[in-house]
Amino acid sequence: CVLLVGLFASGEWKTLTGEMKSYKLGEVSYAMTLFFTAVTWQVYTIGVVGLVFESSSVFTNAITAVGLPVVPILAVVVFRDKMDGTKVISIILAIWGFI
């Protein structure tokens, strides 16, 4: 809800049509990506809060740290994203921070 207020207050909503049209996978794919990204973040947030209530905040932080290096790898596999040097360095730093 706060994101929508920021989107309309900044005036960036005017550029959404252009972004949708220039998206190489199509307008429907753009809208679906935005929708499912929002839903995924909501599920993640509810899950993390539930994990804090059921176990502890330390365990929740440990689970979050485990997932940190997995996200870029999943992005490469699922979205066929490029694995460039920046992603490799971020994965190495995430694994190093976990150890």
* Residue 70 lies in domain: 56-98
Burial 50-62 (b: 16+ CB within 10 A, else e): ebeeeeeeeebee
pLDDT score at 2: 79
Residue 84 lies in a domain: yes
Confidence of residue 75 (pLDDT cuts 50, 70, 90): confident
Render pLDDT for 36-70 as a digit per residue (tens, 0 to 9).
Answer: 988 988 898 898 889 889 988 888 888 888 877 78
Residue 45 lies in a domain: no
Average pLDDT rounded to a whole number, residues 15-29: 89
35 and 5 within one domain: yes
The structural domain count of the chain equals 2
Share of the chain above pLDDT 70, in %: 97
Residue 87 lies in a domain: yes
Q: Does 99 have pLDDT greater than 80?
A: no
Q: Coil, strand, or helix at residue 49?
A: helix
Q: Does 33 have pLDDT greater than 80?
A: yes
Burial 24-40 (b: 16+ CB within 10 A, else e): eeeeeebeeeeeeeeee
pLDDT score at 98: 67
pLDDT score at 57: 85
92 and 62 within one domain: yes
